[in-house]
Amino acid sequence: MKFFVDTAEIDAIAELNDLGMVDGVTTNPSLIMKSGRDILEVTKEICDLVDGPVSAEVIATEADDMIVEGRKLAKIAENITVKVPLTWAGLKTCKTLSDEGTMVNVTLCFSANQALLAAKAGATFISPFIGRLDDINLDGMDLIADIREIYDNYAFDTEILAASIRTVNHVTEAAKIGADVMTAPPDVIKKMVNHPLTDKGLDQFLKDAAKAGIKIV
Ligand code: G3P
């Protein structure tokens, strides 16, 4: 499973990237707003830092304008993935930019049929939003499973990018189902290391090492 980090905070990306945990980055207008940075500047910095795909989202709503924005974003760096919403205009933009050789991430996916359309339009990634479905008392993981089944039935190349991940359990479940990629905020990725039995076991080992006077260096 590829790990994308869902943030536009350079320091947080760099910290995880140094550990080899970052296969790509996803941003959206809300994350750019949180960073307080200019979208073109911060996106360029992220692209320079990370080898993998970096999603940057258009803000236009008409296809012609989205295509102009997408082409501008694509010029930032070779690893840019243009992110478009799952609307007809977004799908049209997806088809045009994909045909030009630009990676496209179709975002705000909340149904299997939407994911099917995105694959037909040549999306590189489809982003089903798990947490936001859970928010309205649906099961976001059911959507990941449905898309996996449909894409496998027809051997679509579009990668399933499990998004709106809020918990470490979301990561486990998405991995079990076979999402190709997950994107999560840095704090969720960092929480994945935690286990009380690891802490308890280490505590005992350290006590015993002290009792035994063990020294390594
Ligand atoms: O990857 C999509 C993500 O940024 C949305 O997450 O928590 O705002 O639903 P959230």
Confidence of residue 11 (pLDDT cuts 50, 70, 90): very high
- The pLDDT tens digits for 153-174 are 999 999 999 999 999 999 999 9
pLDDT at 79: 98
Pick 2-212's CATH classification: 3.20.20.70, 1.10.10.10, 3.40.50.720, 3.40.50.970: 3.20.20.70
Confidence of residue 135 (pLDDT cuts 50, 70, 90): very high
| pTM listed for this prediction | 0.96
The reply to whether ligand 1 has any atom less than 6 angstroms from the CB of 183 is yes
pLDDT at 59: 98
Nearest CA to ligand 1 atom 7: 164
> Would you kindly state where each structural domain of the chain is located, as residue ranges?
2-212
Let me know the angle formed at the C-alpha of 17 by 102 and 151, rounded to the nearest 5 degrees.
45
Mean pLDDT of all residues in the chain?
98
Closest CA to 145 of 6, 91, 153: 153
Structure tokens at 117: 């359309």
CA of 95 to the centre of ligand 1 (A): 24
Residue 197's CB is within 10 A of a number of other CB atoms, namely: 7
CA of 152 to the centre of ligand 1 (A): 25
